[in-house]
Amino acid sequence: MKVTMEVDCTPEEARRFLGLPDVSKANDVYVESVAKAMQGAGNLDQLQSFAKQIAPMGEIGLKLFQNFMEQSAMGGMGGGSSKKPKD
């Protein structure tokens, strides 16, 4: 049996219904601080340095994410391994 239910509500109503906290003020502060920092960056190296500082786990997290994205892209283009597992 398959049951389909459609709920028409705003994101705010859904957040309240699910009991999630309102983080809009924290998000506004975060976005404002990132925008200010980006305006102060004069070149690509400064932007990259800033991105490394705010990334989760710093530079290590950024490298892990970059590797993940590269592997995902290679898998999507058929670049995955064609080796068969040994029995």
Query: Is residue 50 in some structural domain?
Result: yes
Give me the domain span that covers residue 22. Answer: 11-65
Query: Is residue 71 in some structural domain?
Result: no
Query: Is residue 21 in some structural domain?
Result: yes
SS3 assignment, position 59? helix
Model pLDDT for residues 35-59, shown as the tens digit of each residue: 777 776 667 777 777 776 666 666 6
Query: Is residue 74 in some structural domain?
Result: no
Query: Is residue 44 in some structural domain?
Result: yes
Query: Is residue 20 in some structural domain?
Result: yes
pTM confidence score: 0.40
* Number of domains making up the chain: 1
Q: What is the pLDDT of residue 30?
A: 79
Q: What is the mean pLDDT of residues 20-40?
A: 81
- Whether 62 and 52 have beta carbons less than 8 Å apart is answered as yes
End-to-end CA distance of the chain: 39
Query: Is residue 4 in some structural domain?
Result: no
Query: Is residue 2 in some structural domain?
Result: no
H runs (alpha helix) in 1-87: 11-18, 24-40, 44-54, 58-76
In one-letter notation, the amino acid at residue 33 is: S
